[in-house]
DNA sequence: TCTGTGTATTTATATATCTATATATAATGA
DNA sequence: TCATTATATATAGATATATAAATACACAGA
């Protein structure tokens, strides 16, 4: 393990985890784990307003968790690193047992 | 994978992750990964006030992440589930690369 | 260029979290 | 019981986050 517990890395890890620590964003990541989705599709599947979805997506993109491509009017989002699913899976294993 | 992405489990996972998503608490978990510590020891190693340490420990205990035992005046805390370290390690691997 | 559709941003308000300070409780030993 | 040490809780002000509504922007087709 090269990565130290420096104040910087603790801060960065904390900020990234905090962005993940939201039900809607966890669901977005789960869905994107199955393949890319347009904002529209996410809006329907997550069940919150377009504006909220867009704001959540923006937070995740800011943290380099998602990336996107535009196809005509639509924008498709996908996980930047599929290993992120390991983290959400582990989270459920540890905290959602029953 | 038995665990579903129900609103309840998403909410619970989100709340637990959020408690982890703080630099001081990540450091506490890292330290407790090496073995139990008294509040006093954590106070010194983390470098924040006794009151703050106690409040962080309480949040973690509320989420069933830590457990404690009292020995005379001191209270020692430890990780309830050592697998939690897998989560913090993965977090650093994913988010603290550089 | 105008219109419609899809997405992003801005703004305001409500709510939650952080931190420090002060105070309270618990256990020990004199 | 009193004083001391260790830990926990309460409170308040500052800061951060969440959410909805309104608006702005981007693209495609007529």
Asked whether strand C has any atom less than 7 Å from the CB of B89, the reply is no
Q: How confident is the model at residue A4 (pLDDT cuts 50, 70, 90)?
A: low
A23 vs chain B: nearest CA distance in angstroms?
5
Q: What is the pLDDT of residue A8?
A: 85
Boundaries of every domain in chain B: 38-98
Q: Note down pLDDT in tens along chain B; length 98 residues.
A: 344 578 888 999 999 999 999 999 999 999 999 999 999 999 999 999 999 999 999 999 999 999 999 999 999 999 999 999 999 999 999 998 75
| pLDDT attached to residue B8 | 85
Per residue in A42-87, pLDDT (tens digit) is 999 999 999 999 999 999 999 999 999 999 999 999 999 999 999 9
Position A34 pLDDT exceeds 60 = yes
Average pLDDT over residues A38-42: 96
Q: Torsion angle, CA of B38/B19/A91/B37, rounded to 10 degrees?
A: -10
Cβ–Cβ < 8 Å for A16, B23: no
Residue to substitute from B24, B81, B92, interface A, most A β-carbons within 10 A: B92
- Is residue A22 within 8 A of residue A41, CB to CB? The reply is no
Are B48 and A10 in contact by the 8 Å Cβ rule? The answer is no
Return d(Cα B79, Cα B11) in angstroms, integer: 22
Is domain A7-95 given the CATH code 1.10.10.10 in the classification? Answer: yes
Whole-number Å distance between alpha carbons of B26 and B37: 15
Report chain C positions within 7 A of protein CB atoms: 4-10, 17-23, 26-28
**pLDDT reported for residue A98:** 57
Contacts by residues A69-78 (CB-CB < 8 Å, ≥ 24 positions apart): A74/A38, A74/A39, A74/A40, A75/A38, A75/A39, A76/A36, A76/A37, A76/A38, A77/A28, A77/A32, A77/A36, A77/A37, A77/A38, A77/A39, A77/A42, A78/A32, A78/A35, A78/A36, A78/A37
Nucleotide nearest to B56 (CA to C1'): C18
Spell out which residues of chain A touch residue B32, defining contact as CB-CB under 8 Å: none
What percent of chain A has a predicted confidence (pLDDT) above 70? 95
Q: Options 3.30.70.141, 3.30.750.24, 3.40.50.720, 1.10.10.10; which CATH number does B38-98 get? A: 1.10.10.10
Interface size A-B, in CB pairs within 8 Å, comes to 113
Global pTM? 0.91
CA angle A96, A63, A59 (to 5 degrees): 80
From the CB of residue B75, how many other CB atoms can be counted at a distance below 10 Å? 15
Confidence at residue B5, expressed as pLDDT on a 0 to 100 scale: 75
**For chain A, what is the mean pLDDT?**
92
Shortest distance between the Cα of B32 and any Cα of chain A, in A, equals 13
Note the pLDDT of residue A2. 41
């Amino acid at each position: 393990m090269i990565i130290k517990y420096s104040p910087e890395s603790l801060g960065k890890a904390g900020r990234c985890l905090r962005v993940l620590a939201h039900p809607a964003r966890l669901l977005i990541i789960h869905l994107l784990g199955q393949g890319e989705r347009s904002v529209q599709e996410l809006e329907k599947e997550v069940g919150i307003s377009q504006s909220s979805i867009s704001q959540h997506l923006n937070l995740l993109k800011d943290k380099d968790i998602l990336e996107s491509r535009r196809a005509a009017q639509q924008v498709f989002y996908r996980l930047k690193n599929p290993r992120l699913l390991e983290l959400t899976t582990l989270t459920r294993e540890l905290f959602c047992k029953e």
